[in-house]
Structure 1
Amino acid sequence: MTRRWRYIGYLRPIIYTFDISVICLVAIRLLELDIIESVYFCIFHALAWVILSLKTNYYEVYRFTKISRILSLAFEQFFIFSLLVFFYLTIYKGFDLEVVEIFKLLILSYITILGFKLSVNFLLKRYRKFYNGNLRKTIIIGDNLRTHQLKSFFNQNPEFGYKFLKMFCTKGKDDYLEQSFKYVIENGVDEIYCSMAELTQEQINTVVNFADNNLRVLKFLPDTKDIYAKQLKVDYYGYLPILSLRQIPIEEPFNQFIKRSFDFIFSLLVVVIILSWLTPLVAILIKLESKGPVFFKQKRNGLNYREFVCFKFRSMRPNTEVETEWVKPSDDRVTKIGKFIRKTSIDELPQFYNVLLGDMSVVGPRPHPVSHTEMFVGKIDKFMVRHFVKPGITGLAQVSGYRGEIETDKDIINRVKYDIFYLENWSVFLDIKIVLMTIFNAFKGDKKAY
């Protein structure tokens, strides 16, 4: 039950860094700026480039994006950025520059940036076409003109990296959905494409629930204009409109870069400023009270349902029930120092090491032990949607009152609802708000922190 990673490693952050570096380095080289001027120039133009790219969607380039679209985005980005550069150099009178020099700077920067972008796009297509890398397995549910056009698109454009496996005909078969679901699981299918014309509303709901609970990307081929009235994202594969059901902001390349940067910087500060001196102190107190390791390590499910080892300060005496039983009020397994560090959430701080390693995020759905996850997967609808993003040290559900022990089904159902709301409405400001609420709750004391 896995979902393939959508991007090749650190390619996107490398592109961002390359673009900004070119702008700054070329300017410093051609304009012969001193140290102070260089710092001012780089800060202003790096921020301007990043903010502008959010507005122009300059980095919103996917495997099915046409070259003409890439060039159109680049022209818009370069044109507006050029205006900003002239504005900055006009206001900052410390620069005594010729217009020719400014144009030389801009043209050289843009040629380098666009050349790199097109080269990456070309190499990725070659990689998919000739080396079968970065592929997404797909199936189609439906048998009509549009589904056959989509099938042809997949088969005739291997450079886009879609590996078409099978088309499921809906006519004359009652169990085609069950067959398609079984096929998806057995063959590790990444994306499911459905024809809206051949499914009833009940069947659409069934497919949606299956995709959510099994971490599969679900997209639709529209059949009537009515569907465009809904809040769905429309992409074009060639000339075919394709609808995406769920928008996850964190999956956008630039948002991933921003969130990972926030996670890394914030976690590094916590490790250096707090954990560097707190860890030895807590370790001594834990060792003085009970035998056993300082850190508690437990396997949990993270992004794409992948298992990872989660770190915490040990707050209980070693016991065999830790993997299966929630901690309850006045639990005799919890040590005296354990009660304190759990009440103040100090026991969670080692998870900042997990964030630095890339297994977790500062904010996100809280990861459950593997045994608990396996119990909830078949019991709670849409539970698996939580695994579309990295798990967090804290989360929206936790600051909203759904932390700790799951006492009733209502607790886990509401936790999942908050987690889905978070991943569909993510923003940097929401992350900051959740962090501040977490700190406030730690000082105030949470009644479910036991």
Structure 2
Amino acid sequence: MESRQIFILITLLIIFDAIALNCSFGLIYGSGILSNRMLTGNVSSLLLIFLNLTWLCSALVNQTYSQANVQSVEALFKKSAYTFLIQILLLFITLFYVDDLDFFNSSTFYILGLQFIGISTVRLVTFFSEKLNPKLNLYKKKIAIIGNQDLANRLESYFLKNKLSFNLAGSFTDYNTEVIDEKNSKKINKLKDTVKFAIENNLDEVYTTQFPEQCQDLAGVLNLAEKNCVRVKYITSFMQYKREEEAFIDSSYTFNNFYDGIPILVNRREPLSSIGNRIVKRLFDIVFSLFVIVFLLSWFLPLMTLLIKLESKGDALFLQLRSGKKNRPFYCYKFRSMNMNKDSNNLQASRNDPRITKIGAFMRKTSIDELPQFFNVLFGNMSVVGPRPHMLKHTEEYSSLIDQYMVRHFLKPGITGWAQINGFRGETKHHAQMLGRVKHDIWYMENWSLFQDIIIIYKTVANAVQGEENAF
């Protein structure tokens, strides 16, 4: 499965290779090196079309832009050289069949030579960017493997071959064996310490060869991992994957991916783990938020700013730190609906809350106060639909009280969500209310679809127009 970095890298390679090819033609064409015959009529345009089509066909045949072939600069150069040679062969065959071998003169070779230099430059820039820019590591999945079986060794080899997708932080053997972590010069002892290592080093995923049903202490340790937004994935053999009668491969696990022929299982389905689905959701967020900002907030924001300031002192916009994806805090934007007070970051709004202003009561009742969060969506730290972001204090409090509470932070928070349209919005006085919200958020994560998002948005608007009991 492609990581975000690999998808971006492949996209950039395709774009810059196309630029290199067409700019090479433009430089030769513009400099007048091409013969007079090629400058007349549609001959030059025909050559440009042939150059692009033969490169595209060669790249498809050679899988130049596949995930496996962009993991190292050696593979990039090797595949590019093969693609270039196949392109020349295809170009020769194409021009031969159109009875125009005059295309193959010095000018054409000048173009191909410049194209090869340009494409090689793109790959050199990719190589040096990877080496010199440590920030690129932020886009890799940082992972660890625990287990002493051959499968773990095979998986480790796979991750090491795919360094642009994965950052292997450690591979730990038997759960009860001490392993020296050379980087930090300290011992990693037992599975709990391995997960502790994952948490302290901000790992994204931990792969294990054992299942909770096989190890008495594993379930609690894996809950600890999820509480710290570390995904746990299970390594199994193909035969174990096929043998459904195996006690530990039951309906509570679902297939996630194949890595080097090794089935990877997870304990919950996540449609948004697919980069294609994430792109669809992000594009929808951008288009929808831009529509709201341009056609509504462009005039509504100044109006509400004036009304809020006329009633009470303080800024019209209220910025509050909330828990975002992977529990990273971000500033959530809202219209200020309360008088300025020192409890705004610790105390939830309640029914008949004396802090709420008159215009604020109207905004909260109609959910107008949430509209500035479309800027959060556009900036990328929120989605239109997702689990509602909680105050940092409440995240800390409920994460210790409710199992799987932190699982909701695997997704970007949303302006509205599945829990909100099913009655779990507003103040959470009782433990059961937050538990219900968490269950609905996890259901949404496991059953996401674009159509589901549209339904949630429609019901949110309908509820705001009709009025909700828990909106205050």
Asked if TM exceeds 0.5, the reply is: yes
Residue 224 (structure 2) pairs with residue 219 (structure 1): no
- Name the SS of the counterpart of 1:387 in structure 2: helix
Structure 1 residues 169 and 318, CA, compared in 2 at 3 Å: closer, same or farther?
Answer: same
Query: Which aligned pairs between 1:31-430 and structure 2 lie closer than 5 A?
Result: 61=67, 133-134=136-137, 135-155=140-160, 158=163, 161-171=166-176, 176-196=190-210, 200=214, 202-223=216-237, 225-228=239-242, 229=244, 230-237=253-260, 239-430=261-452
**CA shift for structure 1 position 139:** 2.4
Task: State the aligned residue count.
Answer: 380
Q: Are the aligned partners of 1:125 and 1:160 in contact in 2 as well (CA < 8 Å)?
A: no
The separation in 2 between residues aligned to 1:307 and 1:223, in whole angstroms, is 39
**CA shift for structure 1 position 340:** 0.7
**CA shift for structure 1 position 344:** 0.5
Q: Are the aligned partners of 1:125 and 1:161 in contact in 2 as well (CA < 8 Å)?
A: no
The separation in 2 between residues aligned to 1:140 and 1:433, in whole angstroms, is 40
Q: Are the aligned partners of 1:264 and 1:355 in contact in 2 as well (CA < 8 Å)?
A: yes
Q: Are the aligned partners of 2:6 and 2:164 in contact in 1 as well (CA < 8 Å)?
A: no
- Name the SS of the counterpart of 1:426 in structure 2: coil
- Return 5+ residue gaps in structure 2 as ranges: 23-41, 43-64, 80-96, 99-117, 179-188, 245-252
**CA shift for structure 1 position 160:** 5.1
- Name the SS of the counterpart of 2:254 in structure 1: coil
**CA shift for structure 1 position 186:** 2.3
The separation in 1 between residues aligned to 2:120 and 2:408, in whole angstroms, is 35
The separation in 2 between residues aligned to 1:444 and 1:251, in whole angstroms, is 35
Residue 4 (structure 2) pairs with residue 7 (structure 1): yes
- Return 5+ residue gaps in structure 1 as ranges: 26-31, 33-58, 72-98, 101-115
**CA shift for structure 1 position 250:** 2.4
The separation in 1 between residues aligned to 2:358 and 2:454, in whole angstroms, is 32
Q: Are the aligned partners of 2:255 and 2:263 in contact in 1 as well (CA < 8 Å)?
A: no
Q: Are the aligned partners of 2:10 and 2:70 in contact in 1 as well (CA < 8 Å)?
A: no
The separation in 1 between residues aligned to 2:197 and 2:122, in whole angstroms, is 34
Structure 1 residues 270 and 156, CA, compared in 2 at 3 Å: closer, same or farther?
Answer: closer
Structure 1 residues 350 and 128, CA, compared in 2 at 3 Å: closer, same or farther?
Answer: same
Structure 1 residues 166 and 220, CA, compared in 2 at 3 Å: closer, same or farther?
Answer: same
The percentage of counterpart residues that share the same residue type is 38
Q: Are the aligned partners of 1:232 and 1:246 in contact in 2 as well (CA < 8 Å)?
A: no
Structure 1 residues 273 and 117, CA, compared in 2 at 3 Å: closer, same or farther?
Answer: farther
**CA shift for structure 1 position 163:** 2.3
**CA shift for structure 1 position 280:** 2.5
Deviations 1:302-334 (A, max 9, x none): 122221111111111111111111111111111
**CA shift for structure 1 position 142:** 1.7
**CA shift for structure 1 position 202:** 4.3
**CA shift for structure 1 position 259:** 1.6
Q: Are the aligned partners of 1:129 and 1:159 in contact in 2 as well (CA < 8 Å)?
A: no
The separation in 2 between residues aligned to 1:253 and 1:16, in whole angstroms, is 18
**CA shift for structure 1 position 197:** 7.2
The separation in 2 between residues aligned to 1:248 and 1:61, in whole angstroms, is 21
Q: Are the aligned partners of 1:197 and 1:222 in contact in 2 as well (CA < 8 Å)?
A: no
Deviations 1:183-205 (A, max 9, x none): 22223333211113797264443
- Name the SS of the counterpart of 2:330 in structure 1: strand
The separation in 1 between residues aligned to 2:362 and 2:177, in whole angstroms, is 64
Structure 1 residues 401 and 251, CA, compared in 2 at 3 Å: closer, same or farther?
Answer: same
Q: Are the aligned partners of 1:211 and 1:217 in contact in 2 as well (CA < 8 Å)?
A: yes
The separation in 2 between residues aligned to 1:16 and 1:262, in whole angstroms, is 25
The separation in 1 between residues aligned to 2:298 and 2:133, in whole angstroms, is 46
Letter in 2 for 1:149: R
The separation in 2 between residues aligned to 1:125 and 1:249, in whole angstroms, is 32
The separation in 1 between residues aligned to 2:10 and 2:419, in whole angstroms, is 30
User: What is the TM-score with the length of structure 1 in the denominator?
Assistant: 0.71
Larger Rg: 2
Letter in 2 for 1:356: L
Q: Once superposed, what is the RMSD of the aligned Cα atoms?
A: 4.4
- Name the SS of the counterpart of 2:4 in structure 1: coil
Q: Are the aligned partners of 2:68 and 2:162 in contact in 1 as well (CA < 8 Å)?
A: no
Deviations 1:184-232 (A, max 9, x none): 2223333211113797264443344233221113222214734444521
- The residue aligned with 2:185 is none
User: What is the TM-score with the length of structure 2 in the denominator?
Assistant: 0.68
